[in-house]
Amino acid sequence: MCELNPKDYWENRLKENFGLHGTGFQGLGKRYNECMYKVRRRVFIHRMSKLDIDFANANVLDIGSGTGFYVGLWKDLGTISITGTDITTVAVDNLRSMYPSNEFFQVDIGDEEAYKKLGKKFDIISAFDVLFHIVDDTRYENAIRNIFSLLKPGGFFIFSDNFLHHDSIRSARQVSRSLNVIQKVLRENHFEVILRRPMFVLMNAPIDTNRSVLRTIWHTITSAVQYSESMAFIVCTILYPIELLLISIIKESPSTEMMICRSANLRTSN
């Protein structure tokens, strides 16, 4: 039996469950995923509010929009001009119905010269929980190159990844790349890293650590939330304020982090 390609995989997954649980951490249940998205929202709004950006007049491109979670967050910040992309038909069709005043395109950012399909440049580009699903390194580099081509000079590129401090970890549908690899690709494509801070500490897989205590905590959390939705509610009630506190006071996370970059203002000689 042939393995599904990424487009078919996500097409089928979102058709079966078009919601946050469909795009979230499968196997951990609806309530726990909802809590994880609450954390994502708090982190996103806090970090964006610290940037010197007039969101009402910014053109934003959201890559891998899925069910529109980050499109909604950009709207919460007062952003009017939002363009979204996704590799699936089901996502694009649903997003066009949900946000009729915005534009959505079926685009795979890993395709060579995918930037030509958008036809304009943006002040801000976001790609949350997307780029580590590009398992082919050439397509990953294409994605970063396309993103730079789509940004105005001095524009912001904001994304999440695991930024490993050791060698990359590969699986069939995800590659957690090392921080060194990611920074190298960013430098080669004229990006300056402004900030990297945690999106999760305890509530997502501690992939960037060998500390047994953190792995034990994660195993305990996953076992509890998989027991029942009622248990997941209890776990979330306890963990949510602790997670927000940890995110606010530490700079390095054993799990997913947000990176904010700025594109270089390249000058061409006559």
Whether this model's pTM surpasses 0.85: yes
Where are the strands (E) in 102-190, listed by range? 103-106, 122-127, 151-161, 169-170, 175-176
- Residue 267, pLDDT > 60, answer no
269 belongs to a structural domain: no
211 belongs to a structural domain: yes
17 belongs to a structural domain: yes
C-alpha 137 chain-centroid distance = 18
Buried b (16+ CB within 10 A) or exposed e, 120-156: ebbbbbbbbbbbbbbeeeebbbbbbbbbbebbbeebb
89 belongs to a structural domain: yes
Going from the C-alpha of 256 to that of each of 2, 36, 99, 198, 220, the distances in angstroms are: 31, 12, 28, 6, 19
270 belongs to a structural domain: no
Domain range holding 69? 6-263
DSSP, res 164: B
Predicted confidence (pLDDT) per residue in 202-234, tens digit: 999 999 999 999 999 999 999 999 999 999 999
pLDDT at 2: 46
- Residue 270, pLDDT > 60, answer no
**CATH, residue 159:** 3.40.50.150
